[in-house]
Amino acid sequence: MKWKIATFWMLVFAGILSFFCLFNPFIFSQQEEVQLFIPEWYLIKERLLIPGGFYGLVGQSLAQFYKNIDVACFINALIYCLIGILFYLLLQKITSCVYHLFIALIPVFALLKIQLNPSFVLDGAIGFLFMIFFLYLSLLFVKSKWSYLILAITSFFIYYLLGQLVVLYAVLFVFLCFLTRENNWYYSFGILALGCIFSYTGVRMALYIPLTDGVYSLRYQESQLSPESFLNYVWIRLTVLSFILFLIGFLFKKIVEKKELPTWITFLIVGAGVIGYGYYALPDLFDKQNRVLGQLAYMEKQQDWNGILQVVQKEKDPGNINLNYLNMALAKKGELADKMFTYDQKGVQSLIMSWNGTYYLSALFSDIYLMTGNLSVSESYAMEAQTLAKRGGSPRALKNLIEINCRKGDYEIVNKYLNLLRKMPGYASWAEKKKENCLTQLQMQCVHNSFGNKDKLLSLLDMETLWRVQLDESSFNQTAFEYLACSYLLAKDIDKFKTLIEGKYDIYIGKALPVHFQEALALWKLENKTEVLEDPHIGEEYMSKFDQFRKYFIHEASHSDGYFKLQSQYGDTYWFYYYCKQL
């Protein structure tokens, strides 16, 4: 029988692992990049001195290995499987039944759902795991009233390790003692009282926010900058769920004992309940959107530009942030001005959308502006990302700050950040290599000359001007130029585009202008009814193709399906965007 149970849980482990690997392994990468865990003894000691610091320490220690998402999937699958096993063992204390194997999956489903929320951190699962582990040990140990006394003493130890979770542990302990009809079960109220006293003392001493803050809504929790409140929210709900499941286990026990229901019906009810809850716990649209964002962010870190293009291409209606990733990937490949309009663009916001004060957008903007050479703006967003990262900082933001300050010649701050990253296992080798590069830069005195008369306050500059600054001969940045040119095209301002491109033909000496630039120039010529249509910068095929487009457009524009016909023929051209796309 035991081998059957073991097989069951191995299958559960495999199922959870598959879910993580197939659905959203990237969420672990997202969690890893918003924590700065420095494994120094004096910092660890500081956290261990505060009740509840232990589980947070374990969570962050494990999360630092999330850089490898396969390892992250394995760690999480193992933890969730252990939670399921322990929950099953607790249910077995009420009565021994096979269907408890399925009931024990419900808290696992709940956690699988919760962990998709970007506010969740591994500490939440670790804390819950330890809580039910101690719950199980306590039930094994409790035999006489003296054992309650010993448990009362150990509840301080549990409080030290788990903080305010000791209250939830005590609540479930009381309930389980009652359900399992332990001798002198009412002594367990003493442990609950102690747990409440410990928790209240911690709140009274201003060590942490009250556990009761967890009763507020999800929206409230997501608005808090640190994960503490959200974890309280999760634990309270898991405790309530556990309470209900233990009660169900107890009620089914009574029903089965009285033989009021055939066993197969019991199994049917349990199965339906588990499947129903499992269905409820399935990822929703919001989770799927987050998944895509997580995937794009991960691919960006891996510099998998083709991967980004493939992911966005599959989307029916990509949002602005997805398009920001897409266009950045195109620019990294040197194809922005050649292939931008083969994708469904939506105006200037497709290049850089409005900042919404979140970590992920700050990190993305820092990358984009670094690419276009706007060091100060990139640094500002990197600093925002560093500030907004929920667990003390962001290695991703630090890497950008290192790059930026290296180019600016601020080597003291570069050293500080490099020394920090060298202490983190996932970044030590990168930091060592970067240190060598920075030293070389110092020796060659390759300092980006970003100072002097060009300085202006950013409130006095618009995005257009920000990119224009990068077009000086001394500091010309081709990506900034293409971003600026493409922003005009996206805004359908082809006069500005024409003026810009006329001054910069020399950068394309010996090679053809990018495809969309030729398309736009052809459009401009015909729109402005210039007499001389030939232009050395526009290929003949673009002029004739545009001429065909115009005729086709006139013919099809009045038909109800004209838009789709035009899209199928010319959807990858700037002309289609210019004439047919509503902004």
Partner 1 sequence: MEIPIGSITIVNSYEMKQFYLILSLFVLTACSRALPEAEVVQQQPEIIPDYRGVIIPCNIAPLNFKLTKPEKSIAVFASPVSEFRIESYKGDFEIPQKKWEKISLEAKGKEIECTIYQYKNNAWLKYSPFSISVSKDSIDSHLVYRKIAPGYRMWSEMGIYQRNLRTFEEKEFLSNRLTNNNCMNCHSFCMQNPDKMLFHQRSTHAGTYIIQNGEIEKLNTKTDRLISALVYPSWHPSGDFVAFSVNDTKQDFHSSDPNRIEVFDNTSDVVIYDVKKREIITDSLLLSPNNMETFPTFSPDGKRLFFCSAPVLPMPESFREVKYNLLSLTFDSQRRSFGSQIDTLYQARQTGRSAKFPRVSPDGRYLLYTVSDYGNFSIWHKDADLQMLDLASGNVDLLSGVNSDNVESYHSWSSNSRWFVFSSRRDDGLYTRLYICHVDEQGRTGKPFLLPQESVDYYDNLLFSFNVPELIKGRIKVDTHKLIEISKYGKPGSLIFSE
Residues in contact with partner 1, shown as a per-residue x/- string from 458 to 487 under the rule CB under 8 A? xxxx----x--x------------------
Q: Does residue 226 interact with partner 1 by CB under 8 A?
A: yes
As beta bridge partners, residue 167 has none
Q: What is the CA radius of gyration of the chain?
A: 30
Residue whose pair of structure tokens reads 């929210």 in the numeric block: 233
Using the contact rule CB under 8 A, the part of the chain among 61-69, 205-213, 514-522, 570-578 near partner 1 is 205-213
208 binds partner 1 (CB under 8 A): yes
**Interface pick for partner 1 out of 114, 388, 486, 500 (rule CB under 8 A):** 388
Residue 456 interacting with partner 1 (CB under 8 A): yes
Site for partner 1, residues 100 to 139, rule: CB under 8 A: none
Q: 533-562: which residues touch partner 1 (CB under 8 A)?
A: none
Q: Is 314 exposed, middle or buried (0-12, 13-18, 19+ CB in 10 A)?
A: exposed
- Contacts of the segment 328-332: beta carbons below 8 A, 24+ positions apart: 328/300, 328/364, 328/367, 328/368, 328/371, 329/300, 329/305, 330/305, 331/371, 331/479, 331/482, 331/483, 332/303, 332/305, 332/371
CB of 369 to partner 1, least distance (A): 11
Helical spans, DSSP H, in 333-394: 336-339, 359-371, 375-388
Q: Of 34, 276, 230, which Cα lies nearest the Cα of 117?
A: 230
Q: Cβ of residue 167: shortest distance to partner 1, in angstroms?
A: 17
Q: How far is the CB of 206 from partner 1 (least distance, A)?
A: 4
Q: Is 583 near partner 1 (CB under 8 A)?
A: no
DSSP state letter for 512: P
Give, in degrees to the nearest 5, the angle at Cα 74 between 73 and 76. Answer: 65
Least spacing, CB of residue 541 vs partner 1, in Å:
41
42: contact with partner 1 by CB under 8 A: yes
Count how many Cα atoms sit within 13 Å of the Cα of residue 230 in the half-sphere of its side chain: 21
| Least Cβ distance, residue 557 to partner 1 (angstroms) | 44
Nearest to 506 by CA among 470, 483, 537: 537
374 forms part of the interface with partner 1 (CB under 8 A): yes
Binding of residue 452 to partner 1 (CB under 8 A): yes
Q: Which is nearer to partner 1, 196 or 241 (CB)?
A: 196
Contacts of 78 (CB under 8 A, 6+ apart): 13
CB 552 within 8 A of CB 566: yes
Q: How far is the CB of 451 from partner 1 (least distance, A)?
A: 6
Q: What minimum distance in Å lies between the beta carbon of 208 and partner 1?
A: 8
Provide, rounded to whole angstroms, the least separation between the CB of residue 499 and partner 1.
22
Stretch that binds partner 1, among 218-226, 269-277, 305-313, 493-501 (CB under 8 A): 218-226
What is the torsion angle, in degrees rounded to the nearest 10, for the CA atoms of residue 165, residue 167, residue 168 and residue 172? Answer: 140
**Residue 205 within binding range of partner 1, rule CB under 8 A:** yes
Q: Return the range that interacts with partner 1 (CB under 8 A); candidates 97-105, 113-121, 249-257, 446-454.
A: 446-454
**Contact call for residue 256 and partner 1 (CB under 8 A):** no
C-beta of 117 vs 405, nearer to partner 1: 405
User: Tokens 């099953």 sit at which residue?
Assistant: 88
By CB under 8 A, tell whether 377 contacts partner 1: yes
Q: How far is CA 48 from CA 184, 231, 465, in A?
A: 35, 18, 51
Q: Kindly tell me which of 209 and 236 has the beta carbon lying closer to partner 1.
A: 209
Q: Which residue, among 520, 442, 440, 536, has the nearest Cα to 488 in the 3D structure?
A: 520
Query: By the 8 A CB rule, do 4 and 365 touch?
Result: no
Q: Which stretch binds partner 1 (CB under 8 A): 231-239, 405-413, 554-562, 563-571?
A: 405-413
Residue 375 found at the interface with partner 1 (CB under 8 A)? yes
Q: How far is the CB of 496 from partner 1 (least distance, A)?
A: 21
- Between CA 391 and CA 227 the distance in angstroms is 8
Q: Kindly indicate which of the ranges 61-69, 96-104, 178-186, 408-416 contains the residues binding partner 1, using the contact rule CB under 8 A.
A: 408-416
In the range 326-365, which residues lie near partner 1 by CB under 8 A? 357
Selected binder of partner 1 within 372, 450, 487, 573 (CB under 8 A): 450
The whole-angstrom separation of Cα 575 and Cα 522 is 9
DSSP secondary structure string for all residues of 103-143: HTHHHHHHHHHHTTSTT--HHHHHHHHHHHHHHHHHHHH--
Q: How far is the CB of 435 from partner 1 (least distance, A)?
A: 14
Binding residues for partner 1 (CB under 8 A): 36, 38, 40, 42-43, 203-206, 208-209, 224-226, 228, 357, 374-377, 379-380, 383-384, 386-390, 392-393, 408, 410, 412-413, 415-416, 419-420, 423, 450-452, 454-461, 466, 469
